[in-house]
Structure 1
Amino acid sequence: MSKLNGRQTNSDDILQNSSKTLLRHHNILHESDWLQNGTYTPFKKEKIDGLRAAMDYCNSPYKGQTSKEGDIIEGFKLRNVHVFIHHGDSTSNHRSDWFGPELFNCKFRTDNNTKFKQFPDHMDRMAGKQGIRNHFLNWALYPDKDLCADSMLTSKGALQHLMLGQSLFETYTLNKDLFNEKLSINSQVYVKSTSSSRVYQSTVAFLYGFLPKFNISNMKIENSPDLHFCTKQFAVQKSCYCKYANKLKIKSMKIQSKCKGYDAVEKKHSDIMKEVFGNGILPSDFAMAEAIMPLFCHDITIPCWLSLSDKNCEEFLSDIWSAVIAQERARYNDHNLYYLKYSSIVMTPILIEIINRIKNIVENRHTPKFILYSGQESTLSPLLYVFSLQDGKWPPYASRVVIELYEHLGNISKNRFFLRFLYNGKDKTDSVIFCKGLTFKGLCSLRYFTDFVFTKMLRRFGFNSYYDACSR
């Protein structure tokens, strides 16, 4: 028997009834009991502050950051850290006749931070030294162009990850026992990046901020062709392609497209939209928001400011972003759970890989102490959905999801390992679907995580396994 949250609980009974527990947590999250009787109540329809949400998405590197990572509880030792990051501030691949990425400056510049001032010169010296067989050989290491191109990391985007890397360096290397002092930190760090310039440059900026002596020739950044970091070793029949998962994603997108928020915006702001995007077929609200956000995040004037009041312009931007949030909520509120099913399938290989690395720690085998997965919104969103940490918004630029592994010292049983889950610096462990109400000193037993991934994550939807899901 163990005491959790002030009540006596039998751990074996919890595991045996974990399927029911998961369903109950979903009911609470959706504020309904539709999984049992078919009724359904959507997200609370509170008023959306689109302008506030847009500012949060920009995630200015100059605002104060919350950082609860590495807050070690007495009697526990930090053993392993997995970090998922979203690329930093970037230009869009959507444009109009009035504006394009050329409006932005992609020449790196910074404030008075001495280390960051040396960043461009250091990167220039490292250029082409990634290793002969490295996928990213001869890729640009940082934003160094006077004019930006489509989907390009900006100077602000690089600065976001430089500062994030430095913050986590202070968290995990100063007064912490995560790394073995007898070995170089580089040898204890493992990095994966998806195949995108803005993602790769975000990775490099993070590592420069995180590592005391960053030398790219000694740091292999492994390319991940898959957006969800699927490795063939942990996939089905050595393939990361899952046709059925893609079908679920398409169904989810159709649910979003039926959301009426965009129609209201088009009707209310048709003159502004035509001025910004021309008289042709207007882009979707997703594309429109992605096109306008870089302007908003960089305080660049858009056409409506030339002909309308600031209030009308702010209302236009707020309504566009509110429509995007409404679509995100429609995806969440879908009673068929298409996106959650999709997320559970595509995240299975990487979650199994994480468990495999943690197993090496548990069994005292060599494994990297710090693992970085660098991706984009389509990487982070499924992970947030699987953990039930989604908040109905796009993950902001330079967002991060962190999984920390702790060992309970003095406990010699097999159940001495625990996890902490954080999203953008905030401890979310008690909100994670398989940890809710079951934490011990704020941490979640490793057993709940492994049991969820191997026996509950897919079976709750009727899939016997990852192979079964992808064979549908």
Structure 2
Amino acid sequence: MVRKKTVNILWAVSGVVAAKTLSCNMDVDSVRSRATFMRSPDHAIDQVSDPSLRLKTVQIFFRHGARTPVRTIPNIEKANWDEKKLFEGAPDTYIDYDLCNLDGGPRPEAHVETLYRRERLSGGSFKGQLTARGMNQMYNLGKSYRKHYVDQIGYLSTEFNSTDIYFRSTNIARTIASLRCVVAGLYGKSLKSLKSDPVKIYLADSESETLYPNWQGCEAVRKFVDNICKNTDVVPGVRHGRLQLQELIDLHEDHHHLDIVSIRDNLIARLAHGLSYPTFFEPLLDMIERHAIDITMFQMIAHKDNHSQQHHLFPLMVGPLVNLILENIGNSIEKKRCPKLYMYSGHDTTLMPLLAVLNIDVDHWPPWSADLIIELYENKQSEHFIRVLYMGKEKNVCDSEEGLIPVEKFQKCLQQYTIKPSDYAKNCSSPVQVQ
């Protein structure tokens, strides 16, 4: 990742005086723009370069919309997360749906969501909840899918067909609600007029979740992530920024486990909802985001120069999800009965490791409603190709110079990160040491 010069900060009794340059202003503006990003319902999805190809299967992974923060910033005045105002103004996003486990049985217990609801934020809202702004972001995402896959290329039918689409979410309220909003944008009018069973959303229990690195179900992942959280100075380049932030918010210098990722999360959530935050954070927004990315990616893949750690740890982080992607592709190629569209509602930690696997640079934190699309095509000679899009834009992946790549190359690219269930269980019991 290319590093930009950090902002020089001068502390004074009255606050902070920043020596800003034009480039720094642009970086801060870029962070603010991503925080307040609202996708248009007419957001264009790139068309495939060869229209003679037949689209066979689509897999979509998206991040939830704007939400309340999951943590507060120590020693900083709390924002007012007004539960009466933040969740009003998204009437078109509501549809009927059923929640079930991956086998179609009762919904698993939502352990993570229970943690969010132990205490309320100032203003009465719970932590990590999808707001009306987030609902409208996801509704617009669904509308953009309808425009492309229904209206423009006719891949999906104009009326909802439950056999065409498989819906899955993590078992957390904001991702379930985000999926509901996307479906409403895609088929809301059709669903309201149907008398059939409601949409089914499938959920895994927290211990076996594969839509993000599972620190709850894998001991090695949990210990490695915890070690980084307790001392982020092991991440190259982070210590200087940590010390700057600690002086700003008056924390002890030895507070090595300052949670920069959560500081970023809180500030971005405030920006997204037009809530105030201390102005001394303003010139540091870009630095905070860059360090948050470095810490998060380090937690997921270990250090890029430590290949033994990377090869041991990263498959535990992303392997089960890669297995799922390849299995869906294989089922379609083998003409097994499968849906036309797989839709997965997840998190930034769903997208970031997948971007790394595909060799797509993680230069910026995935904004609210960011999405990754993996399409499988077939030509007249029964040859198969993969196309990947990030936020609607076609990407060259796996070191390819073309947007369309042979499925064999795609499978080989991802195969190095796959892991067998038996190996997963075995390696999860062998914690990786931070060096």
Instruction: Report whether the alignment pairs 1:154 with 2:131.
Output: yes
Task: Tell me the residue number matched to 1:335.
Answer: 305
Instruction: Report whether the alignment pairs 1:447 with 2:405.
Output: no
Instruction: Report whether the alignment pairs 1:354 with 2:321.
Output: no
How many angstroms apart in 1 are the aligned matches of 2:293 and 2:312?
20
How many angstroms apart in 1 are the aligned matches of 2:105 and 2:171?
15
How many angstroms apart in 2 are the aligned matches of 1:280 and 1:299?
33
Q: Deviations over 1:405-463 (max 9, x none)?
A: 1111x214xxx1111011111211x2334xx24x4xx3111112233444x336xxxx8
Instruction: Report whether the alignment pairs 1:297 with 2:272.
Output: yes
Structure 1 residues 85 and 280: alpha-carbon distance in aligned structure 2, compared to 1, 3 A threshold: same
Task: Tell me the residue number matched to 2:81.
Answer: 102
How many angstroms apart in 2 are the aligned matches of 1:221 and 1:253?
33
Structure 1 residues 66 and 299: alpha-carbon distance in aligned structure 2, compared to 1, 3 A threshold: same
Counterparts of 1:30-429 in structure 2, within 5 Å, are 43-47=1-5, 49=24, 50-61=27-38, 67-71=44-48, 73-95=50-72, 98-100=77-79, 102-103=81-82, 105-109=85-89, 117-119=91-93, 122-123=94-95, 126=96, 134-135=106-107, 147-179=124-156, 184-212=160-188, 213-214=190-191, 217-226=197-206, 229-230=209-210, 241-246=217-222, 249=225, 256-259=232-235, 263-265=239-241, 267-268=243-244, 272-274=248-250, 283-302=258-277, 304-305=278-279, 312-327=280-295, 334-337=304-307, 338=309, 341-408=312-379, 410-412=380-382, 416-428=383-395
Structure 1 residues 313 and 226: alpha-carbon distance in aligned structure 2, compared to 1, 3 A threshold: closer
Instruction: Report whether the alignment pairs 1:471 with 2:432.
Output: no
Per the TM alignment, residue 51 of structure 1 is displaced from its structure 2 partner at its CA by 1.6
SS in 1 for 2:60: strand
The percentage of aligned residue pairs carrying the same residue is 18
Per the TM alignment, residue 79 of structure 1 is displaced from its structure 2 partner at its CA by 1.3
Structure 1 residues 260 and 299: alpha-carbon distance in aligned structure 2, compared to 1, 3 A threshold: farther
| Residue identity opposite 2:411 in structure 1 | T
How many angstroms apart in 1 are the aligned matches of 2:340 and 2:304?
38
User: Unpaired runs of 5+ in structure 1?
Assistant: 1-42, 111-116, 140-145, 232-239, 306-311
Task: Tell me the residue number matched to 2:417.
Answer: 457
Structure 1 residues 173 and 190: alpha-carbon distance in aligned structure 2, compared to 1, 3 A threshold: same
Q: Is this contact kept in 2: 1:87–1:397, CA < 8 A?
A: yes
State the TM-score, normalizing by the size of structure 2: 0.73
How many angstroms apart in 2 are the aligned matches of 1:264 and 1:220?
48
Q: Is this contact kept in 2: 1:404–1:421, CA < 8 A?
A: yes
Structure 1 residues 325 and 47: alpha-carbon distance in aligned structure 2, compared to 1, 3 A threshold: farther
Q: How many residues align?
A: 380
Larger radius of gyration: 1
Structure 1 residues 396 and 55: alpha-carbon distance in aligned structure 2, compared to 1, 3 A threshold: same
State the TM-score, normalizing by the size of structure 1: 0.68
Per the TM alignment, residue 100 of structure 1 is displaced from its structure 2 partner at its CA by 4.8
How many angstroms apart in 2 are the aligned matches of 1:405 and 1:208?
25
User: Unpaired runs of 5+ in structure 2?
Assistant: 7-23, 114-122, 428-435
SS in 2 for 1:159: helix
SS in 2 for 1:366: coil
SS in 2 for 1:148: coil
Per the TM alignment, residue 86 of structure 1 is displaced from its structure 2 partner at its CA by 0.8
How many angstroms apart in 2 are the aligned matches of 1:260 and 1:86?
27
| Residue identity opposite 1:75 in structure 2 | S
How many angstroms apart in 2 are the aligned matches of 1:260 and 1:245?
20
Q: State the superposition RMSD in angstroms.
A: 3.9
How many angstroms apart in 2 are the aligned matches of 1:330 and 1:360?
33
Task: Tell me the residue number matched to 2:18.
Answer: none
Q: Is this contact kept in 2: 1:255–1:330, CA < 8 A?
A: no
How many angstroms apart in 1 are the aligned matches of 2:254 and 2:4?
34
How many angstroms apart in 2 are the aligned matches of 1:270 and 1:178?
52
Q: Which one has the bigger helix percentage?
A: 1
Structure 1 residues 261 and 170: alpha-carbon distance in aligned structure 2, compared to 1, 3 A threshold: same
Per the TM alignment, residue 264 of structure 1 is displaced from its structure 2 partner at its CA by 3.6
Per the TM alignment, residue 286 of structure 1 is displaced from its structure 2 partner at its CA by 1.7
How many angstroms apart in 2 are the aligned matches of 1:423 and 1:173?
19
Structure 1 residues 100 and 225: alpha-carbon distance in aligned structure 2, compared to 1, 3 A threshold: farther
Structure 1 residues 314 and 65: alpha-carbon distance in aligned structure 2, compared to 1, 3 A threshold: farther
Per the TM alignment, residue 330 of structure 1 is displaced from its structure 2 partner at its CA by 5.9
Per the TM alignment, residue 229 of structure 1 is displaced from its structure 2 partner at its CA by 4.8
How many angstroms apart in 2 are the aligned matches of 1:168 and 1:70?
12
